[in-house]
Amino acid sequence: MANTLETLAAVFDMLAAHDAPCDIFGGWAEELLQVSRPRIHSDIDLIHRAPTFAAIDAAITGLASTVREIPEKRFLHKRAFVFRDVLCEITLVQDADTQPVTYYWGDLAFHWEVPLCCNPGDSICGRQVSVVSAANLARHRLHWSKTQPHRWRDPQSLEMPASI
């Protein structure tokens, strides 16, 4: 299935129903805020505002018949899964209400601006959603290379799931 607004809404609803609410980030957020033109999206980027990924990990486990986790993208700051053939990536944002920060690789702080998110005004497939603000989207894009993307390929950067 294509990466459409309906797919985005389904992911948004699915995570919220599993007590793992997220906000829209990346290309979809840019499009919804009209920072960029509508285009084909290769993935769905989200942020999860919480101290840890506990709720996301539980949701992914609970949705095992619906989503497929991507263990090669399991980092201290990120989780990823495939839903309907669409890659979904979730970035953890801690202290979201006061001083939002993502600790890339567990040791590299990226400080977000306050407010972190906004409401684009329009609903998506009948749902009100929250998206990362245009200022934060621009700031993240500007500083993305400083988050050390080369570490994606370092096996030591992977976070192993808790044993059962």
Query: Is 20 in contact with 79 (CB distance < 8 Å)?
Result: no
State residue 158's pLDDT score: 87
What is the CATH architecture of 5-143? 2-Layer Sandwich (3.30)
Q: Where are the domains positioned within the chain? A: 5-143
> What does pTM read for this prediction?
0.93
What pLDDT score was predicted for residue 29? 95
In which element (H, E) is residue 144 found? none
> How far apart are alpha carbons 132 and 157 in whole angstroms?
26
What is residue 1's predicted lDDT score, i.e. its pLDDT?
A: 58
**Unique residue bearing structure tokens 């894009």:** 141
| CA–CA separation, 12 and 19 (whole Å) | 11
Tens-digit pLDDT string for the chain (164 aa): 589 999 999 999 999 999 999 999 999 999 999 999 999 999 999 999 999 999 999 999 999 999 999 999 999 999 999 999 999 999 999 997 889 999 999 999 999 999 999 988 767 878 888 999 999 999 999 999 888 988 888 888 888 776 54
Question: pLDDT value at position 122?
Answer: 67
Number of helices followed by number of strands (H, E) in the chain: 4, 9
